[in-house]
């Protein structure tokens, strides 16, 4: 809560009106754990871990409700028994969130792990600076093994909420993480005439942005997606690495080969060879018979067997696909060199084959200067997109990727990679949502609702006014 308060104050200092925080921002996303569960068995350690996670969840003072719907409007309006009698329901998280929004003047939307009864829900709350919490929803379909610890919320909680910011009416609703891959759920939000579509998530893959752009175009609405950016825990955190993780290693940038550094303790039993610089290279695992043959070969004083190779005119080594005798190697070498020359003339990049038969494309100059410049710019764009702040992506458990997208699919801010401190933002004209309806309104003129109809149990799909 202290971090949330600090973020809200930073947002206010930058003139930001609405702050969206990731899925499970309060309570935490249990990435990587399985709570000691396998089919047919649960461990005592896993049960204790679940109990600690339950303790970390927040209590908003809501009920379980039918199908996980909670008390709905009665909870929002503080009409439940204890609240109506002047006694605080829950653990005070609701009141603290309302204080933060009121003190900063920022409309806060945050993910939270909510406990009600003996179950937990992945929730999102909408906190208005003037009215307090005006809505809360629970994730209707936890993804994969999230269902071990999160109960299903009711689709009735998908109701959009409205507020007025700088004299402009904003209709907003949130789809949590992989709920965004549910077309009918997205349509239920479009049907309510949202112009601000919120997507708190834990998905840090590159493909997520393409989905957000699709939502922007499909719903003719602004889309804000907020994802957590999480660094890997240090060795001091007590995590037990696997055998391979225990070995110190580096990766050669040019060829991507993982090189295990010399160490006194042999933890990896795979065959290996030692390079001239003293680095030990772990080789792919082979059968016991192959390993015995390799050991016998080494005892005879021979080097580890390598496949034959030739060099092209640019000095790139091309590994041949099989072990030939010398005469056949020369013949194949001539053929390979001729093929490489043909590729060069055709303005194609050079490549070699590794020991598993995989083709590796080399980084080399193009004959055509224009093509070279274009490729360089493409690589620069890729580097900017994937590496963000320039920090090492491998040091993050989740790299983030927060973004803001227009109703026409344009990326207005982000994706924000490898940045666990910054806030991305964009100034928007909400009338772009109306302008976009000229040619596409998936809940109205483009819906053919005389033939295709969507109903959601417990949810009013009548559109909100602008």
Burial of 356 (0-12, 13-18, 19+ CB in 10 A): exposed
pLDDT by 10s per residue, the chain, length 466: 999 999 999 999 999 999 999 999 999 999 989 999 999 999 999 999 999 999 999 999 999 999 999 999 999 999 998 755 667 789 999 999 999 999 999 999 999 999 999 999 999 999 999 999 999 999 999 999 999 999 999 999 999 999 999 999 999 999 999 999 999 999 999 999 999 999 999 999 999 999 999 999 999 999 999 999 888 886 334 443 333 333 333 333 333 333 333 343 333 444 445 445 444 444 444 445 555 555 555 555 444 455 566 666 666 667 666 544 444 444 455 554 445 454 445 455 566 676 666 677 666 544 444 444 444 444 444 444 444 556 677 888 898 999 999 999 999 998 999 888 899 999 999 999 999 999 999 999 999 988 999 999 999 999 998 8
Question: Is there a catalytic annotation at residue 139?
Answer: yes
Out of 128, 177, 221, 433, the active site residue is 177
β-partners of residue 340 are none
Q: What is the pLDDT of residue 86?
A: 64
Nearest Cα residue to 274 out of 261, 289, 285: 261
Domains of the chain and CATH, by start? 1-79+88-156 (3.60.110.10), 158-232+395-465 (3.60.110.10)
Out of 98, 128, 136, 139, the active site residue is 139
Q: What is the pLDDT of residue 390?
A: 60
Out of 23, 114, 146, 179, the active site residue is 23
Question: Is there a catalytic annotation at residue 177?
Answer: yes
**What is the C-alpha separation between 91 and 56, in angstroms, rounded?**
11
The overall pTM is greater than 0.75: no
Q: Identify whether the C-beta of residue 229 lies closer than 8 Å to the C-beta of residue 398.
A: yes
């Amino acid at each position: 809560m202290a971090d949330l308060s600090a973020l809200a104050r930073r947002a206010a200092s930058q003139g930001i009106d609405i702050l969206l925080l990731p899925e499970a921002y309060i309570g935490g996303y249990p990435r990587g754990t399985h709570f000691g569960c396998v089919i047919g068995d649960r461990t005592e350690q896993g049960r204790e871990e679940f109990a600690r996670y339950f303790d970390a969840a927040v209590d908003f003072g809501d009920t379980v409700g039918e199908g996980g719907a909670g008390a709905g409007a009665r909870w929002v309006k503080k009409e439940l028994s204890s609240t109506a009698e002047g006694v605080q329901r829950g653990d005070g998280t609701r009141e603290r969130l309302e204080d933060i929004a009121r003190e900063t003047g920022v409309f806060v939307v945050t993910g939270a792990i909510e406990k009600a009864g003996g179950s937990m829900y992945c929730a999102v709350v909408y906190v208005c600076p003037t009215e307090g919490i005006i809505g809360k929803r629970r994730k209707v379909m936890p993804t994969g093994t999230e269902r071990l610890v999160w109960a299903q919320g009711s689709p009735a909680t998908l109701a959009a909420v409205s507020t007025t910011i700088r004299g402009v009416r904003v209709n907003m609703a949130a789809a949590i993480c992989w709920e965004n891959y549910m077309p009918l759920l997205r349509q239920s939000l479009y049907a309510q005439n949202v112009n601000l579509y919120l997507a708190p998530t834990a998905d840090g893959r590159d493909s997520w942005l393409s989905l957000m752009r699709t939502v922007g175009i499909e719903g003719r609405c602004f889309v804000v997606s907020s994802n957590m950016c999480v660094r890997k825990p240090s060795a001091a955190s007590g995590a037990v690495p696997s055998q391979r993780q225990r070995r110190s290693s580096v990766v050669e940038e040019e060829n991507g080969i993982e090189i295990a550094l010399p160490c006194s303790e042999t933890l990896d039993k795979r065959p290996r060879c030692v390079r001239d610089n003293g680095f030990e290279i772990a080789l792919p695992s082979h059968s016991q018979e192959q390993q015995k043959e390799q050991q016998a070969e080494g005892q005879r004083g021979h080097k580890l067997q390598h496949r034959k190779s030739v060099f092209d005119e640019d000095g790139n080594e091309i590994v041949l696909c099989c072990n030939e005798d010398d005469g056949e190697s020369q013949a194949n070498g001539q053929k390979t060199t001729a093929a490489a020359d043909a590729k060069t003339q055709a303005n194609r990049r050079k490549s070699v084959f590794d020991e598993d038969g995989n083709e590796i494309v080399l980084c080399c100059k193009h004959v055509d200067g224009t093509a070279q410049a274009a490729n360089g710019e493409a690589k620069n764009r890729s580097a900017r997109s994937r590496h963000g702040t320039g920090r090492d992506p491998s040091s993050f458990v989740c790299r983030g990727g927060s973004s803001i997208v227009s109703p026409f699919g344009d990326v207005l801010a982000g994706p924000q990679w490898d940045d666990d401190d910054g806030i991305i933002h964009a100034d928007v004209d909400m009338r772009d949502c109306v302008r976009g309806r000229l040619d596409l309104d998936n809940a109205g003129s483009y819906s053919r609702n005389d033939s295709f109809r969507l109903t959601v149990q417990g949810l009013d799909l009548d559109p909100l006014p602008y």
